[in-house]
Chains A and B, each alone.
Chain A
């Protein structure tokens, strides 16, 4: 069974940093691209960032470009999101999601339950 367990969320002050992690199991992690997708309270879905199996293809939403950095460690079956210069607009539930492909960024066939990030003073 595919499992994606995100962690690292919490309450953080504006301007500070936070690092999210996603532990994957139940599939061959380095056979797939991975993503972060977020959902602000009561709002819709927003793709944040994605990374191919070998980290050769990386993409970011315009709203986080230059502030967030996605990475992965295939030896540890883990996905990360380093978030810097956080603002209240970054407050959301952050989902870790598995792509259907390895080398390109397409769509998501499995999602974790998410980790909540709240940016507030």
Chain B
């Protein structure tokens, strides 16, 4: 099973600042990585797939990068609605999620 490790567990950021979230795979997943956003009491929402392609309707301030074992989700200028938990998920060898990064208001 491929283990996905996200860091940091919690990220404190001020509105308008940049947030950088990391996701590491225990073995290469090529570019087969997705990112999701989850707000309290809601189902997750797809943000990024193929490591760097934004899903339909996702604002341009969200960007993904990386390949192999190291991936990054960047939120260029945090808006109030972006404070949430973010999960990465690999789909190269079955499916596994990372443990999540909570982005909170500083």
Residues of A that sit less than 8 Å from B by CB: 35, 44-47, 50, 59, 61-62, 95, 100, 105-109, 111-114
Which residue of chain B lies nearest to A50 when distances are taken between CB atoms in the complex? Answer: B95
**Shortest Cβ distance from A48 into chain B, in angstroms?**
10
Interface size class of B (residues with CB under 8 A): 20 to 34
Asked if B49 contacts A113 (CB within 8 A), the reply is: no
Asked if A109 contacts B94 (CB within 8 A), the reply is: no
Asked if A107 contacts B91 (CB within 8 A), the reply is: yes
Quick check: is B97 within 8 A (CB to CB) of the other chain?
Answer: yes
Quick check: is B64 within 8 A (CB to CB) of the other chain?
Answer: no
**Shortest Cβ distance from A68 into chain B, in angstroms?**
14
**Shortest Cβ distance from A52 into chain B, in angstroms?**
13
Quick check: is B43 within 8 A (CB to CB) of the other chain?
Answer: yes
Residues of B within 8 A of A95 (CB): 43-44
Residue A47 contacts which of B38, B45, B96 (CB distance < 8 angstroms)? B96
**Shortest Cβ distance from B45 into chain A, in angstroms?**
8
Residues of B within 8 A of A107 (CB): 34, 46, 49, 89, 91, 95
